[in-house]
Chain A
Amino acid sequence: MRYVCSICGYVYDPAEGDPENNIAAGTSFDDVPADWACPVCGASKDNFEPES
């Protein structure tokens, strides 16, 4: 499941992860650490919603 940042629209795709911020490809959104932040706008994880 992909998750969308409700602030800036960045899409977290588990297939890609966020390697620049130490989130390996294949990491599900649930397994992303709680202190991870949106790489575009810096919003916290709880600002993300499942992609509709």
Chain B
Amino acid sequence: MLPVEIKKDIFWVGSVDWNLRDFHGYSLARRGTTYNAYLVKDEKIALFDLVPANHVDELLRCLKATIDPEQIDYLIVNHVEPDHSGALPRLMEIVKPEKVFCSPIAKQALISHYHREDWPYEVVSTGQSISLGKRTVTFLETKMLHWPDSMFSFIPEDKLLISSDAFGQNLASSERFDDQVDKTLLFSLAANYFANILLPFSPLVQKLLDKVGEVGWDIDMIAPDHGLIWRSQIPEILAKYAEWSAQKPQRKAVVFYDTMWKSTERMARAVTDGLIAEGLSVQLMSLKAAHHSDVMPFIMDAQAIVAGSPTHNNGMLPLLADMLTYMKGLKPQGKIGAAFGSYGWSGEAPKQISEFLQSAKVEIVAEPLRIKNVPTDADLAACQEFGSRIGREVNARVPA
């Protein structure tokens, strides 16, 4: 892509990854992604954030369309994850920057990633500013959003916040700004990104939003490291981050399951009927059809999680173990739940799932439900009642 001037003398100079689908090995980016780098041309020329190593040629081509890369004075590393710093070794050879600005933890992380103690690191901490000439850059460490090294850079003269991995979305597009694409799509992608990346750090997001309010930054543009730049819907995305990080559950349930001979699937449908009968909005997801990262946005705002698996080799099916492990790591808060499944002879899976949900701090509101082999009409009625019971628990907790 060619550079795009986002403010006077400030350019987007990243790379669009149209074909990416596997995002960081744990989630899917069904619409691809972008790696955003930002070039500020002032008395000092500064490049904020980079691209992965395999996109370095694209970055250099983009840079060369506006500047000779050797003219760059400062590299600012807001985040060490390899999709933003992977191009650093090559850039260091070409640019030979005067300084590489990064947070204290980022310096250690850069050394343990690239094994170069000799680079001209300049450690900056929260509240510190540097001058680029007409502009200043103020840094704010955002530890654990979502790595320990993460940092924001703010340019007050341009009201520009370069927000690293916060406020990102995975979307490959020819557009660069939030008002140039469909709003529903954009916020849905931002929710997916939050649910899969930032959810465990919700309390820190809340603190960060407070902190940004306290420091009184006047922001009219938020430039994240993935996806589109926010310039028209800043109050909206900030409000969404406040909402998502508050983790206030809605009158919704997610039923996810795997199945062998369709008995557990029939149970899942009947459980779903019971939940719907109580007025809930329900998302029914076969884990053969839905990737775990596609389930998480629904879990994020649901009050109830209902999980089902038949018993296989005295345990749950592998896709359930995958989903539950992934979900537990993302630490969803304030959920209720229950487990179900069909079985042939021993039938351990529902109890195992229930115990796992409990270990993930999900409050269990119904005993695990088991049906032998193939459900009868009476069994399916019991499944429906099981769903209704969970639905009533949701209604008791979430006012209509």
Interfacial residues, chain A to chain B (CB-CB below 8 A): 7-9, 20, 40-41
Complex Cα distance, B384 from A27, in Å, reads 46
Judge whether B89 is part of the interface by a CB distance below 8 angstroms.
Answer: no
Complex Cα distance, B207 from A9, in Å, reads 11
Min CB gap B107→A, angstroms: 14
Residues of B within 8 A of A41 (CB): 143-144, 148
4 closest A-B pairs by CB: A8-B144, A7-B148, A8-B143, A41-B144
Given contacts A40-B144, A41-B144, A41-B148, contact A7 B105 (CB under 8 A): yes
Classify chain B's interface size: under 10
Complex Cα distance, B148 from A9, in Å, reads 9
Interface residue SS majority, chain A: loop
Q: How many cross-chain pairs have Cβ atoms below 8 Å apart between A and B?
A: 18
Given contacts A7-B144, A7-B148, A8-B144, contact A40 B105 (CB under 8 A): no
Residues of B within 8 A of A8 (CB): 143-144, 148, 204
What are 18 sample pairs from A and B whose C-beta atoms fall under 8 A apart? A7-B105, A7-B143, A7-B144, A7-B148, A8-B143, A8-B144, A8-B148, A8-B204, A9-B143, A9-B144, A20-B361, A40-B144, A40-B201, A40-B203, A40-B204, A41-B143, A41-B144, A41-B148
Complex Cα distance, B143 from A8, in Å, reads 5
Contacts beyond the supplied A8-B143, A8-B144, A8-B204: 15 A-B pairs with Cβ under 8 Å: A7-B105, A7-B143, A7-B144, A7-B148, A8-B148, A9-B143, A9-B144, A20-B361, A40-B144, A40-B201, A40-B203, A40-B204, A41-B143, A41-B144, A41-B148
> Can you name the residue of chain A whose Cβ is closest to the Cβ of B149?
A7
Residues of A within 8 A of B105 (CB): 7
Residues of A within 8 A of B143 (CB): 7-9, 41
Complex Cα distance, B333 from A40, in Å, reads 13
> Can you name the residue of chain B whose Cβ is closest to the Cβ of A9?
B143
Complex Cα distance, B143 from A41, in Å, reads 10
Min CB gap A29→B, angstroms: 20
List B361-395 residues whose CB lies under 8 Å from chain A. 361
Residues of A within 8 A of B201 (CB): 40
Residues of B within 8 A of A20 (CB): 361
Complex Cα distance, B38 from A28, in Å, reads 46
Encoded as 1 (CB less than 8 Å from any A CB) or 0, chain B from 131 to 148 comes to 000000000000110001
Residues of B within 8 A of A40 (CB): 144, 201, 203-204
Complex Cα distance, B333 from A20, in Å, reads 12
Min CB gap B147→A, angstroms: 9
> Can you name the residue of chain B whose Cβ is closest to the Cβ of A8?
B144
Min CB gap A52→B, angstroms: 14
Complex Cα distance, B146 from A41, in Å, reads 10
Residues of B within 8 A of A9 (CB): 143-144
> Can you name the residue of chain A whose Cβ is closest to the Cβ of B201?
A40
